[in-house]
């Protein structure tokens, strides 16, 4: 990371609302991190990004970066902009942009994976060379990924959790999953068709796996850490401010923990929530009884 009196450059994707916006708000206030940071507020829609910056009071250290993380062209353009306008250096990248859809179709999977997995993979590939000494890449995953992984067959779990997993193997797992959705045969591959939020959960399970693969790839000369984080179940548009959700500010704290914690308190490639190290897979303990009515009202 840049030395103490040097300005850190931090990019948060999908930061015009929800958790990403709360993260920017906290960074600006300086309650988490130094308010000397230069913050790049990533958003796919220029107007929504401008409105978000205005809502923050247009602080001089927050700049807009147009970035649709599902678009390779947009990723290439944003990378060039960081090179040209910000000296090609980045200290922290927070991959926060994400989507949730409930349909269980191959098209929905393609759309979700484009943002929640493939876009993050491509953005990390473009931006990892710009990450400075002791920098961090934070992939915003979800406990839903850990639940979904837990509900897979042991064989399939072992593939996702393998310590020798490669990006190519992980991509192939997702392509096979899409093909199985098309032929109505996900159970045959070892997925549990009854997993709640199955496609979203698979995208986040894959992101947990990708985080470990990237940590292995990039741990080296620059002491860069790649970490996954769950913000917890928070009230945002993603879940239509679902029943029992906690304030988004708490989710932002959870996302910022691996940004702020000293390197020796973090395990490279691992998964954190509210500052606690989490397993890659575990059973869901959330009570969903209040959800059906809420979901019906938000179809
Ligand atoms: N809320 C929760 O309970 C919860 C729990 C676990 C994990 N998460 C994760 O936390 C992250 C943030 O979610 P949130 O709850 O804050 O959701 P949100 O309120 O729906 O905000 C999502 C943000 O991502 C942006 N986005 C979506 N697709 C994008 C794309 N292709 N390129 C660039 N930006 C894109 C949205 O932009 P637009 O405004 O243009 O749509 C928005 O700014 C997601 O990765 C989500 O999976 C959330």
Pairing of strands 276-278, 271-273: antiparallel
pLDDT for 291 equals: 67
298 pLDDT higher than 80 = no
Instruction: Assign 32 a pLDDT band (cuts: 50, 70, 90).
Output: very low
Confirm whether 200 is a catalytic residue.
Answer: yes
3-state secondary structure of 93: strand
pLDDT band, very low/low/confident/very high, at 5 (cuts 50, 70, 90):
low
Q: By the 8 A CB rule, do 246 and 233 touch?
A: yes
Q: Which residues contact 171 (CB under 8 A, 6 or more apart)?
A: 118
Stated as kind and residue range, the H or E segment containing 192 is none
Could you give the C-alpha distances from 231 to 90, 110, 186, in angstroms and in order? 23, 24, 28
| In the predicted structure, residue 93 carries a pLDDT above the cut 60 | yes
* Å from CA of 36 to ligand 1 middle: 26
How far does the centroid of ligand 1 lie from the alpha carbon of residue 99, in Å?
A: 5
pLDDT for the residue numbered 296: 57
Give how far the C-alpha of residue 184 lies from the chain's centroid of Cα atoms, to the nearest Å.
28
Residues 6+ apart with CB under 8 A from 91: 1, 2, 8, 9, 10, 131, 132, 135, 136
> How does DSSP assign 19-33, residue by residue?
HHHHHHHHHHHTSSS
**Residue 109 main-chain phi, psi, to 5 deg:** -65, -45
Give the C-alpha separation, 38 to 90, whole Å: 10
Point out the ligand 1 atom lying closest to the alpha carbon of residue 144.
Answer: 6
Q: What is the pLDDT of residues 110-148, one digit of tens each?
A: 999 999 999 999 999 999 999 999 999 999 999 999 999
Entry pTM? 0.96
Q: For the chain, how far is it from start to end, CA to CA, in angstroms?
A: 44
Q: What is the CA angle 190-196-198, rounded to 5?
A: 50
Alpha helices, DSSP H, located in 59-118: 72-85, 106-113
Task: Specify burial of residue 183 (Cβ count, 10 A radius: 0-12, 13-18, 19+).
Answer: exposed
Asked whether the beta carbons of 255 and 211 are under 8 A apart, the reply is no
Tokens representing residue 279 in the block: 């397993």
pLDDT of 3 = 54
Residue 32 to residue 149: CA distance in whole angstroms = 32
Catalytic residue among 200, 233, 272, 282: 200
Q: With the C-alpha atoms ordered 96, 52, 37, 265, is the resulting torsion angle positive or negative?
A: negative
Ligand 1 closest atom vs CA 16 = 43
Q: How confident is the model at residue 252 (pLDDT cuts 50, 70, 90)?
A: very high
% of the chain residues with pLDDT over 90: 88
State the pLDDT at residue 294. Answer: 62
Average pLDDT value over all residues in the chain:
94
Ligand 1 site residues (CB inside 6 A) read 13-14, 16-20, 43-45, 48, 67-70, 96-99, 115, 140, 142, 230-231, 233-234, 236-239
Query: Quick check: helix, strand or coil at residue 284?
Result: coil
Residue 31: per-residue pLDDT: 45
* pLDDT given for residue 103 in this prediction: 94
Percent of the chain with pLDDT over 70: 93
Mean pLDDT of 162-188: 98
Residue 71, pLDDT > 90, answer yes
Taking only the tens place, the pLDDT of each residue in 35-47 is 689 999 999 999 9
Q: What confidence category does residue 13 fall into, taking pLDDT thresholds of 50, 70 and 90?
A: very high
pLDDT for residue 253 is more than 50: yes
């Amino acid at each position: 990371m840049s030395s103490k009196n040097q300005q850190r450059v931090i990019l948060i994707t999908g930061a015009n609302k929800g958790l990403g916006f709360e993260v920017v708000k906290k960074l600006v206030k300086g309650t988490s991190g130094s308010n000397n940071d230069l913050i790049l507020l990533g958003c796919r829609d220029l107007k929504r990004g401008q409105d978000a910056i205005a809502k923050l009071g247009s602080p001089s250290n927050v700049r807009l970066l147009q970035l649709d993380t599902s678009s390779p062209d947009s990723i290439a353009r944003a990378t060039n902009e960081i090179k040209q306008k910000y000296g090609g250096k980045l200290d922290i990248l927070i991959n926060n942009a994400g989507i949730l859809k409930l349909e269980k179709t191959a098209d929905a999977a393609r759309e979700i994976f484009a943002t929640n997995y493939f876009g993050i993979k491509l953005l990390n590939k473009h931006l990892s060379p710009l990450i400075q000494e002791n920098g961090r890449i934070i992939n915003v995953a979800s406990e839903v990924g850990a639940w979904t992984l837990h509900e897979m067959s042991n064989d399939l779990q072992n593939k996702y959790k393998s310590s020798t997993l490669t990006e190519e193997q992980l991509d192939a797992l997702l392509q096979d999953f899409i093909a199985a959705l098309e032929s109505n045969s996900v159970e045959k591959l070892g997925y549990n068709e009854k997993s709640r939020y199955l496609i979203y959960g698979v995208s986040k399970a894959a992101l947990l796996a990708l985080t470990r693969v990237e940590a292995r790839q990039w741990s080296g000369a620059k002491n860069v850490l790649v970490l996954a984080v769950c913000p917890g179940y928070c009230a945002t548009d993603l879940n239509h401010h679902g029943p029992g959700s906690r304030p988004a500010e708490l989710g932002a704290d959870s996302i910022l923990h691996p940004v702020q914690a000293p390197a020796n308190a973090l395990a490279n490639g691992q998964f954190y929530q509210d500052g606690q190290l989490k397993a890659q897979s575990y059973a869901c303990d959330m009570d969903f009884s209040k959800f059906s009515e809420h979901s019906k009202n938000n179809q």
